[in-house]
A and B are shown apart, each in its own frame.
Chain A
Amino acid sequence: MKNDWRELIVAYHDGELGPDASAEARRMIDGDAEARQYYEALRRSDDLLHQAFDPILDKQVPSGIDSAVRRLSRRQHVSRWMPMALAASVAMIAVLLVRQEQFDQQLHEQFAEMQREIVRLRYQALENTPSGTAATWVSPSGNSRFDVTPVQSYRTEDNRYCREYEERTTDANGVEIRRGIACRVGKANWPDEPALSSQETHF
């Protein structure tokens, strides 16, 4: 180390030494005039280097560099948000598909419920309602109405009890009128889907 005294002083000045080497450097600076002079010169030259170059820190950044920085920020912004935007789009599509499926399912259930109500009402009308009197069902939403009116009743040659009837469905699409004949099967038993004799639609 004796031959590298400047290296020791420089490293000491730069704070790169451990406690023992620092103590040795300090002793050298305190006890040797040349080492002390070198150490002081190091401090002065570092001060001058800072004075010479630090003013650049406060100088306005040229437009070319500023533009490059802004372009990088924009690319970062896009690259940061693009995956999230894509993920959000995929999630939104998934939600829409799920909602569509739920909506379809709901419609299907409503339609099935309406069909059950129509069969029940037709059965009730054919079994209990006098000819010329309508039995009516209105959907819970109030948007659809179903009327069944027995028109006339008669017995066939083979002693079956049959009724002619008219069904009228009214909803946002207009009015649909169907006429048909239903014959009782056994005791108080009417077919779920009686034969239709005519159908007309009014919008």
Chain B
Amino acid sequence: MRNDLGEKLKELIPRMRRFACGLTGSIDSGDELVQAACERLLNHHARLKPDTRLDSWLYQVIRNLHIDGIRAQAVRQRGAEKIRQDLVLVAGSESNLDNHLQLHEVQDALGKLPEEQRAALMLVCVEGLSYKEAAEVLGVPMGTVTSRLVRGRSALIARMEGGGAAPQQTKASK
């Protein structure tokens, strides 16, 4: 893993920014997390095991930094407005007004999910990790990832499609 670590990190930065933005609800706050993760890598890279997957390691560090409360909740809340503006500006030339509104809604809906569901959704739905890979990053069994995904997605769909609460499952979720 240590060979060309800088090059690998450079390639992963866009994905890490996307993940961090999804977690925090803000590009700026997400970038702060990514930068902090990079600094941690700078200080720890010599101690990484050769078989460590850099992407999994970074996802884990970013998520831990987020949970540890590096920034105050208030900062994250303020940033939530920025992300909507930034992303709409980027997608503006190709998207119609309805699509803009939908993007706002999905960002809002994601931001209202519990953190563990949001992290699972970002890792699997957006970052494309398998359940096994996501379970390793999150430090939970695969069954827990599955459960968080179902609850998170159901809540997201309920908010997007009907503006209401998530549909009730007949089986108790984890």
Contacts and interface: CB of A to CB of B under 8 A. Distances in A.
B169 to A, nearest CB: 6
A159 to B, nearest CB: 89
Contacts of B149: 10, 14
Given A72-B38, A75-B42, A11 B146 contact: yes
A52 B106 contact: yes
Interface string B35-50: 1001101100110000
B107 to A, nearest CB: 5
B53 interface: no
Contacts of B18: 53-54, 56-57
B157 A38 contact: yes
Contact of B90 (A59, A70, A80): A59
A6 B150 contact: yes
Contact of B4 (A48, A51, A68, A76): A76
Interface residues of A, number: 42
B110 interface: yes
Given A6-B169, A53-B21, A41 B45 contact: no
A55 B153 contact: no
Contacts of B7: 73
B125 interface: yes
A118 B131 CA distance: 90
Interface in B97-112: 99, 102-103, 105-107, 110
B102 A76 contact: no
B146 A10 contact: yes
A157 interface: no
A112 B149 CA distance: 89
Contact of B126 (A10, A49, A76): A49
Given A52-B106, A56-B14, A72 B42 contact: yes
A65 B125 contact: no
A191 B130 CA distance: 96
B154 interface: yes
A68 B38 CA distance: 6
Given A57-B18, A68-B42, A72-B42, A4 B171 contact: yes
A171 interface: no
Nearest to B9: A69
A51 B39 CA distance: 29
B91 interface: yes
Interface in B104-132: 105-107, 110, 121-122, 124-126, 130-131
Contacts of A79: 46
A6 B17 contact: no
Interface in A140-164: none
Given A52-B103, A75-B45, A76-B5, A59 B17 contact: yes
Interface of A: 3-4, 6-7, 10-11, 14, 16, 38, 41-42, 44-46, 48-59, 61-62, 64-65, 68-77, 79-80
Interface of B: 2-7, 9-10, 13-15, 17-18, 21-22, 27, 30-31, 34-35, 38-39, 41-42, 45-46, 86-87, 90-91, 95, 99, 102-103, 105-107, 110, 121-122, 124-126, 130-131, 146-147, 149-150, 153-154, 156-157, 160-161, 167, 169-171
Given A49-B126, A57-B14, 14 more contacts: A6-B169, A7-B146, A41-B160, A42-B153, A42-B157, A45-B157, A48-B103, A52-B107, A55-B86, A56-B30, A59-B86, A68-B35, A68-B39, A75-B42
